[in-house]
Chains A and B, each alone.
Chain A
Amino acid sequence: MFKAIDALHPGLIEQPLTALWEQISPLYAIDESRWLRELMALAEPTGDQIRQAESRATSLIEQVRADDGAIHMIDALLLEYSLDTREGILLMCLAEALMRIPDAETADALIRDKLSVADWKSHLRNSDSLLVNASTWGLLLTGKVVTMDEREDGTPSGVINRLVNRLGEPLIRRVMQQAMKIMGHQFVLGRDINEAMKRGSEYRQKGYTYSFDMLGEAALTRTDAAKYLNDYSRAIDFVGNYQDKKAKGPKPSVSIKLSALHPRYEPGQEEQVMEQLFETVLKLIRQARALDVAITVDAEEADRLELSLQLFQKLYQHPDCKGWGGFGLVVQAYSKRALPVLIWLAALARQQGDLIPVRLVKGAYWDSEIKLCQQKGLDGYPVFTRKESTDVSYLACARFLLSSHVKGLIWPQFASHNAHTVATIMTEAQHNQFEFQRLHGMGDALYDRVLEQAGVAVRIYAPVGNHKDLLPYLVRRLLENGANSSFVHRLVDARCPISELTEHPWLTLNKRNPLHNPHIPLPRDIYGQQRQNSRGPNIDIACEWKPFSAKVNEWLNHQWLAGPIINGERIETGRIVEAKAPYDHRHHTGRVHFANAELVAQAVQVASDGFADWHATPVGIRTQALMRLGNLLEENLEELVALCHQEAGKTIQDSIDEVREAVDFCRYYALQANDLFSTPTKRILADGSSHQLIRDGRGVFVCISPWNFPLAIFLGQITAALAAGNTVVAKPAEQTSLIAARAIELMLAAGIPGSAIQLLPGTGADVGAPLTADPRIAGVAFTGSTETARLINRALAARDCAPVPLIAETGGQNAMIIDSTSLPEQVVKDAVQSAFASAGQRCSALRVLCVQKDIADRIIDLLKGAMAELKTGNPCLHSTDVGPVIDAGAQQGLLNYIEQMKSHATLLAQSALHPDADQGTFVAPTAFEIDSIERLGREQFGPIMHLVRYEAKDLDKLIDQINHCGYGLTLGIHTRNEGTAAHIESRARVGNTYINRNQVGATVGVQPFGGQGLSGTGPKAGGPHYLLRFTRLQPNVTRPASKTDKVEG
C-alpha cells in the first residue's frame, strides 16, 4: 500500500501508469481506520487553515441565512420535509411512484396508502415556498379526506364526510398529480434540452454554467440504450450550437451515465463494454469535440469503478480524443480508492498532455454499497462509514488536486453543498484553475456568494428529461442517499447553530475512536459476535477476482474420485459412473463408485452402532467440529467452486453462494445446537409446577439431497441432524456425488467421527429405497420433487414401526405479483434474476410473473430486451449468466414442454444459445404468456417463465388462483403500496415472501426457507425451529434443575 502523503510529491505521478494502476484495486476494501490514518496525514490542516476555513464558512452561512430569497425550490422542500421525518419519506415515496401509474384505481390506492398516516397539517404555511405549500395543500386535503374515510369504521361519521370521500378521489388525484408536476418542475431543469437551455438562461447571465444530464434508469435493453444515446447526442448538438449572448460563464457541458448507454455495463461483460460501449461513447466524443462541448462520465456503483477507468483510458487515449482536454469523469470521495484513482488520472494526463476535467463528489450510492457488501460477505466496505471520514477523504483528494504539480493535468470540479467544504477549498486553493459544481435546485444562495467572492466558475448539474421518468429517479437517489440532503437542510435551518456546521471534519474525525464507525459492523460481523457471516470474494474487483480465479483454474482439470464412505473409509465398489461436465460432455470430471444394497445395510449398521457415542458426545464438542467444518469449507473455497462448475454446471457467483450457504448452515446449526442442547429445558407450567426436559437425537437420520444445491442442502441436512445428536446416512443426488464425497472428506477432517456420518452415492432404487425401508431409520430429511417425497413417505410408512419424522422440502409453482406502482426496470431485473439464474433450477425460482394489465406491455417489452442480453455458456466464465441444466433427461423434459407450450401459449421471448451449446445440456431461457394461472401443470424445473396479465380489481382472485395451485414455496411482490403488499402477503399460502426484490437466494438464519402445501412439510431450513424436528424431548432424570437451565413457559 502506498502512502497517501506521497500524493504531494511530484515524482509520484511520474511513475509508470501500470504501477499506479496496481495501487487502486487493493484499496477496495482496505481496513478503514488504517487507510483513514493515511488520508488524515495528507489532509491535516494547519491551525491557520482551520481558522480561515471556519471563518469563511461562518460568513457564508450567515450571508445565506440573511438572504430572504435563500430558501426556495428543493432546499425549501427538504427543510420542511426533512428525510428524517415520516412525512418527508412518505412525500418522496409518493413522488417516486405516482406519476408512472396509468390507472386511477391504483393511483388512488397509493395516495391513500401514503397519506392516511401522517401529520400534514403541521407543515402548512411553515414555508413561504410555492412548492412546499402546493405540496402541503394537496397532501393536507388528501390526508384529511382519507382520515375521514378511515374513521368510518366504528365511529358515527357524517354523511358529508362520506360524500367528500366519494366525490373527492378524482379531485385528490388531480391535486396530487399537480403537486408532483410542481416537484418535477423543480427537480428537473427542462423536459428537453431546448427547455433546459432556456430555463437556464437566467443563471447563465449571473455567471453560472451547466452540465446537462439526460438522467434516468440504467438501460435494460438495447432499445433503451439507443434512446439514451439519441438524447445525449441531441443534447450535445443543441448545447454546441446554442447561442446565448447574455451568458457570462464557461460553455455548458454534458454528463453521461454509462449504464444508460449499454444494457450490460458491468465487469462480467468487459468484452462487450470495451468494444460496443467504447464505440458508442467514442461517437459522442467525436460529436462533442467538434462542437467543443465537454463530456463528463458520471460515477456509478463501486463494482463498476475499475471497468469505467479502463474504458475511460481507452477512450482518452484514442486519436479522436487526443489533444482535446474536454473528456472527463466523476470521482466519488466516499470510495477508499478515490485518491489512487486521482493519482492515476493525473499520471495519465501527464503522459498524454491533455487536461482531464474531474468532478469530485462525495458519493451517491452509500446505502446500497453497504448492503451489497453485507450480502456478499466481503472483507470490508469500499466506502467510508462515517460522514466525516468521507469529508476528510474529500479534502485529502482536493489537496492533491489543488497541488501545483497537478495543475494543468486535471481540471478539478468540486461538487458539494457543504459550506465548510466550499470554504476549505477556497482557503486551500493557491490558484483559480478549478470550478465548483452544485445540483440544480439546491444551494442557490450559497453559490451566489461563491460566485461573487471566489472568482471561479460555478457549474450547475442539471437533470433534463420528462418529469415522469426523471422525478422518480431523482427522488430515489435522494431517498437512497438522504445523507446528502442533511447539510442542505441544516444550512438553511436557523435553529441549527452555525458552529455545528463549521467544525473542520479533520478535527471531528480526529476525535473518533475508532476511526471507522463501530455501529456499522463489517460484512462478516452482521450476525453479531456469536456467528460469523460466511466469506465471499468480490469477483468484480481485480484484486479479489484475479487470485481467486487463478486458484479455481488450477482445479478445473482435476479428476476427482468418489465412492461410498463407511466408517471413515472410502470403498471402491467397481460400479463406476463417469462424471461429465454438464456444460461440455467432452470434459470428464471424475469417477464415482456407486453403492449397492449390501453397503446400505452396512452403512446403517455402522451409523446405528455409532449413535450411542455421538449422542453421548457433549454438544460443545459436536458443534466445535461443525464450526471447524465451516472454516474448512472456506479454506477450500476454490476447489469447491471448481467442483460446482464441473459437476453441477453452476456459474461463478452461484458456486460461491453455494459454498457460503453451506458454511452458514454449519455455523448456524452449531450455534442453535449450543443454545438448545447444552442444558436441560426447565418447563414451567401454567399451574406453577415445573419439570425438566432434555433434547436428544432420535437415532439414525437419512439425508437425501438434490443436485441443485449439491453442497449447501447436502450439508444443511447433515449438519442439522448431527448437531442434534443423530448419526447420519447421506444419499446425495446421483448427478453430484463428487461434491458430496469431497464434503464428507472435509467433515471427517473437521473431526466428525467416521461412525457418525456415512455416505452412499448411488441410485434411488439401489440406495434410496432400501434406506427408507430400513426399520432402524429414525427420521428422513429430504429435498427434491414432490413425487419422490411421496414415495419416501410411503416407504417409511410401510415399515412395522412407529412413524418417524419426514422433513421434506419439495417444489414450487412460484409467482411474482406486480402492480402498476412498481418500477418496471426493477421488476424485470428481479424477474429475470428469479426465473433464469441457476438456469431456473432453484426450488424458489419464479415460474409465473403476474402483471397488472395496465403495465403489461411495457413489462413485456423490457423483458424481451433483457432476455435478449442473457448469455448462456460455460459457467466457469465471468461473462456467463445462465449455465446448463443438470443432465440430458432434464434437458429433454424442458425442451418437450417448450415445444408443447408453443402450440397453446404465446412465446414472448427466448434467449439465444451460444455456439457450443450442443456439447452440453443447455436450455434457452424462455418466456410464454398464458391466459390463466390455471393452465399451469406441474413445476418445470428449468429456465422457463410464464407471464399472466390480471386486472387490478381481480387481485384477490389472482391470489386465490395462486393458492389453489397447491404449492406454497416462494412469492415475489412488487408494489410501492405497502398496504397492498401486506394484503397479498397475509393471504398468500406460501413459505417465503419477498417484497420489492428478487425471490431467490434465501440466506441461512436470515430468511428461514421452506414451504407449505405441496411444497413441503416444514420446519424451515436455516430457521430456529428446524433442529427441534431432529430431536425428541424426554424427561430429565439425570440431575435436578439449576439456575442456568433454560426456561420455557
Chain B
Amino acid sequence: MMHHSDIRDIQASAVWEAWNRRGFADRCRLLTAALEHLPAHAEAALTERLARQLMVDAEALEITLEMPGPTGESNELYLTGRGVALILGTEASTETLVACQLLAALACGNAVVLRWPGQESWLSQLVEALHQAGVPRALLAVDTDSPEPVLFSHSDLRMVIASCTPEQEIQLNRSLSAQEGVLLQLVAETDLQHCPLLTSPDFLLRLVTEKTRTINTTAVGGNATLLELGSRTV
C-alpha cells in the first residue's frame, strides 16, 4: 500500500536519478526481459506485442542529437524522463493498456505510481514482476487509498497517464488544471479499442522532457577541430 507522501520520496530519491541516467536502451533491455513474467491477463499476447513495439520505439530515443552551430562550442539535445508519472486506470481500462503505459513510462526514465481502483491485486503482481526483473522498488509503487485530489496536488507529480472515456478525460483534465504548481500533463487514451495514442510514434515524446547541453569547448582546449580545418591543404 502506498500513500501520497511516497511520491515525494520517489522524486527526491537518488533512485529515480539513477534510473533516469541508465539510458533508454538499458532500461528497455531490462523491461523487455520482464515481459515474459507479467501476470496473467486477457490478451496477454497483445500486451506483449504492443510492449515490444514500445520498447523498440523507446530505445530509439537514446540518441543524443548534435546540433549544428558555431565553432568552439558543442550543442547537444537529448531526452530524459520527466519525473513522477501517475498511471490511472478506470473501469474502462484494460490490463493491456495499463501494463503498456507503465512500461512506456518506465522505459522513458520516469518513476511511476499506479492507481487502478478494483485492480490492486493484479497491479501488485505486475509491480512485483517488474521489481523481480530489476526495476528498483523505490521507483514504482501502487497507491490504493489516496484521494485523487491529494495525489494530483503533489508538487513532484509531472504527468498523469490515463485510459478512460472521453467524458472522463475532460473531467480529469479539469481536475488537473485546478492544481497549483506545475502544469500537469495529461496523456489519455480514450479510444480503448484501437489505442491510437499508445501506438502513435509521438506517444513516447509526451513522456519525456528534452535537455540541451551547450559547452564552450575552447575553455578546455577544444579548438583542435578548427585548427585542423585551418590547416587542410585543399
Q: Which of B186-215 contact A (CB under 8 A)?
A: 186, 188, 190, 200-202, 205, 209-215
**Other-chain contact of A1049, B56, B169, B182, B224 (Cβ < 8 Å):** B56
Decide: A92 and B221 in contact? CB cutoff 8 A: yes
Decide: B180 and A790 in contact? CB cutoff 8 A: yes
Residues on A with beta carbons closer than 8 Å to the beta carbon of B188 = 803
Question: Does A575 have its Cβ within 8 Å of any Cβ on chain B?
Answer: no
Min CB distance B114 to A, Å, is: 22
Per the bound structure, the CA–CA distance linking A552 and B76 in Å amounts to 36
Q: Which of A796-844 contact B (CB under 8 A)?
A: 796-798, 800-803, 806, 808, 823, 826
Interface stretch (choices B67-75, B91-99, B126-134, B137-145): B67-75
Decide: B70 and A374 in contact? CB cutoff 8 A: yes
Min CB distance B21 to A, Å, is: 6
Interface stretch (choices A121-129, A476-484, A913-921): A476-484
Of A482, A527, A976, the most chain B CB neighbours within 10 A belong to A482
Decide: A482 and B73 in contact? CB cutoff 8 A: no
Decide: B210 and A1010 in contact? CB cutoff 8 A: yes
Decide: A1019 and B210 in contact? CB cutoff 8 A: yes
Which of chain B's residues has its CB closest to A383's CB? B230
Interface residues in A, total, Cβ within 8 A: 89
Residues on B with beta carbons closer than 8 Å to the beta carbon of A798 = 174
Residues on B with beta carbons closer than 8 Å to the beta carbon of A826 = 219
Question: Does B29 have its Cβ within 8 Å of any Cβ on chain A?
Answer: no
Decide: A681 and B223 in contact? CB cutoff 8 A: no
Of A518, A526, A687, A1018, the most chain B CB neighbours within 10 A belong to A1018
Question: Does B136 have its Cβ within 8 Å of any Cβ on chain A?
Answer: no
Per the bound structure, the CA–CA distance linking A981 and B234 in Å amounts to 37
Decide: B211 and A993 in contact? CB cutoff 8 A: yes
Per the bound structure, the CA–CA distance linking A611 and B69 in Å amounts to 35
Contact mask for chain B residues 169-181; partner A; CB cutoff 8 A; 1 contact, 0 none: 1100110111011
Residues on B with beta carbons closer than 8 Å to the beta carbon of A794 = 174, 177-178
Decide: A1020 and B214 in contact? CB cutoff 8 A: no
Interface residues in B, total, Cβ within 8 A: 66
Decide: A483 and B227 in contact? CB cutoff 8 A: yes
Which of chain A's residues has its CB closest to B210's CB? A1020
Decide: B70 and A89 in contact? CB cutoff 8 A: no
Residues on A with beta carbons closer than 8 Å to the beta carbon of B12 = 960
Question: Does B52 have its Cβ within 8 Å of any Cβ on chain A?
Answer: yes
Decide: A1007 and B75 in contact? CB cutoff 8 A: yes
Which of chain B's residues has its CB closest to A88's CB? B221
Decide: A790 and B69 in contact? CB cutoff 8 A: no
Per the bound structure, the CA–CA distance linking A800 and B169 in Å amounts to 11
Contact mask for chain A residues 238-258; partner B; CB cutoff 8 A; 1 contact, 0 none: 000000000000000000000
Decide: A986 and B21 in contact? CB cutoff 8 A: yes
Per the bound structure, the CA–CA distance linking A212 and B49 in Å amounts to 75
Contact mask for chain A residues 1005-1049; partner B; CB cutoff 8 A; 1 contact, 0 none: 111111011100111100111001000010000000000000011
Per the bound structure, the CA–CA distance linking A995 and B212 in Å amounts to 11
Of A823, A1002, A1025, the most chain B CB neighbours within 10 A belong to A1025
Question: Does B64 have its Cβ within 8 Å of any Cβ on chain A?
Answer: no
Decide: A368 and B72 in contact? CB cutoff 8 A: yes
**Other-chain contact of B183, A686, A987, A1017 (Cβ < 8 Å):** A1017
Question: Does A555 have its Cβ within 8 Å of any Cβ on chain B?
Answer: no
Residues on B with beta carbons closer than 8 Å to the beta carbon of A387 = 230-231
Min CB distance A427 to B, Å, is: 25
Decide: B71 and A374 in contact? CB cutoff 8 A: yes
Decide: A806 and B231 in contact? CB cutoff 8 A: no
Of A527, A989, A1009, A1014, the most chain B CB neighbours within 10 A belong to A989
Decide: B183 and A808 in contact? CB cutoff 8 A: yes
Decide: B77 and A1008 in contact? CB cutoff 8 A: yes
Question: Does A708 have its Cβ within 8 Å of any Cβ on chain B?
Answer: no
Residues on B with beta carbons closer than 8 Å to the beta carbon of A480 = 218, 223
Q: Which of A672-694 contact B (CB under 8 A)?
A: 681, 683, 685-687, 693
Min CB distance B198 to A, Å, is: 12
Decide: B56 and A993 in contact? CB cutoff 8 A: no
Min CB distance A49 to B, Å, is: 23
Question: Does B155 have its Cβ within 8 Å of any Cβ on chain A?
Answer: yes
Which of chain A's residues has its CB closest to B77's CB? A1008
Min CB distance A694 to B, Å, is: 12
Q: Which of A881-910 contact B (CB under 8 A)?
A: none
Question: Does A793 have its Cβ within 8 Å of any Cβ on chain B?
Answer: yes
Contact mask for chain B residues 69-87; partner A; CB cutoff 8 A; 1 contact, 0 none: 1111101010000110000
Residues on A with beta carbons closer than 8 Å to the beta carbon of B21 = 986
Min CB distance A691 to B, Å, is: 10
Which of chain B's residues has its CB closest to A366's CB? B230
Per the bound structure, the CA–CA distance linking A89 and B70 in Å amounts to 21
Question: Does A789 have its Cβ within 8 Å of any Cβ on chain B?
Answer: yes
Residues on A with beta carbons closer than 8 Å to the beta carbon of B186 = 803
Which of chain A's residues has its CB closest to B197's CB? A1033
Residues on B with beta carbons closer than 8 Å to the beta carbon of A1010 = 210
Question: Does B124 have its Cβ within 8 Å of any Cβ on chain A?
Answer: no
Decide: A1014 and B181 in contact? CB cutoff 8 A: yes
Per the bound structure, the CA–CA distance linking A1017 and B187 in Å amounts to 13
Min CB distance A958 to B, Å, is: 15
Decide: A483 and B230 in contact? CB cutoff 8 A: yes
Residues on B with beta carbons closer than 8 Å to the beta carbon of A796 = 177
Decide: B72 and A802 in contact? CB cutoff 8 A: no
Question: Does A992 have its Cβ within 8 Å of any Cβ on chain B?
Answer: yes
Question: Does B226 have its Cβ within 8 Å of any Cβ on chain A?
Answer: yes
Given contacts A371-B71, A1008-B210, contact A803 B216 (CB under 8 A): no
Of B222, B223, B224, B234, the most chain A CB neighbours within 10 A belong to B223
Decide: A520 and B226 in contact? CB cutoff 8 A: yes
Min CB distance B90 to A, Å, is: 16
Which of chain B's residues has its CB closest to A999's CB? B214
Residues on A with beta carbons closer than 8 Å to the beta carbon of B42 = none
Of A386, A387, A808, A995, the most chain B CB neighbours within 10 A belong to A995
Residues on B with beta carbons closer than 8 Å to the beta carbon of A995 = 213-216, 219
Decide: B70 and A1007 in contact? CB cutoff 8 A: no
Residues on B with beta carbons closer than 8 Å to the beta carbon of A90 = 221
Question: Does B40 have its Cβ within 8 Å of any Cβ on chain A?
Answer: no
Decide: A793 and B177 in contact? CB cutoff 8 A: yes
**Other-chain contact of B71, A92, A367, A1012 (Cβ < 8 Å):** A367
Per the bound structure, the CA–CA distance linking A482 and B216 in Å amounts to 17
Residues on A with beta carbons closer than 8 Å to the beta carbon of B1 = none
Which of chain A's residues has its CB closest to B79's CB? A1025
Residues on B with beta carbons closer than 8 Å to the beta carbon of A517 = 229-230, 232
Which of chain A's residues has its CB closest to B55's CB? A686
Given contacts A976-B219, A991-B209, contact A1003 B231 (CB under 8 A): no
Question: Does A93 have its Cβ within 8 Å of any Cβ on chain B?
Answer: yes
Question: Does B120 have its Cβ within 8 Å of any Cβ on chain A?
Answer: no
Decide: A1012 and B82 in contact? CB cutoff 8 A: yes
Decide: A519 and B229 in contact? CB cutoff 8 A: yes
Question: Does A486 have its Cβ within 8 Å of any Cβ on chain B?
Answer: yes
Per the bound structure, the CA–CA distance linking A32 and B112 in Å amounts to 59
Residues on B with beta carbons closer than 8 Å to the beta carbon of A527 = 68
Decide: A1023 and B210 in contact? CB cutoff 8 A: yes
17 contacts between A and B (CB under 8 A): A89-B221, A92-B221, A371-B72, A374-B69, A374-B71, A385-B230, A793-B183, A797-B177, A966-B155, A966-B181, A997-B73, A1006-B70, A1008-B212, A1013-B83, A1017-B185, A1018-B209, A1020-B77
List residues of A whose CB falls within 8 A of some B CB.
83-84, 89-90, 92-93, 366-368, 370-371, 374-375, 385-387, 479-480, 482-483, 486, 512, 517-520, 526-528, 681, 683, 685-687, 693, 789-790, 793-794, 796-798, 800-803, 806, 808, 823, 826, 960, 966, 976, 978, 981, 985-987, 989-997, 1002-1003, 1005-1010, 1012-1014, 1017-1020, 1023-1025, 1028, 1033, 1048-1049
Supply 20 further A-B pairs (C-beta < 8 A) apart from A794-B174, A992-B211, A1003-B69: A89-B222, A374-B69, A387-B231, A479-B221, A512-B234, A519-B232, A687-B49, A794-B177, A797-B178, A798-B174, A803-B173, A985-B213, A993-B214, A996-B215, A997-B214, A1006-B67, A1009-B212, A1010-B210, A1012-B158, A1012-B209
The 5 closest A-B pairs by CB, nearest first: A374-B70, A89-B221, A797-B177, A996-B219, A1006-B69
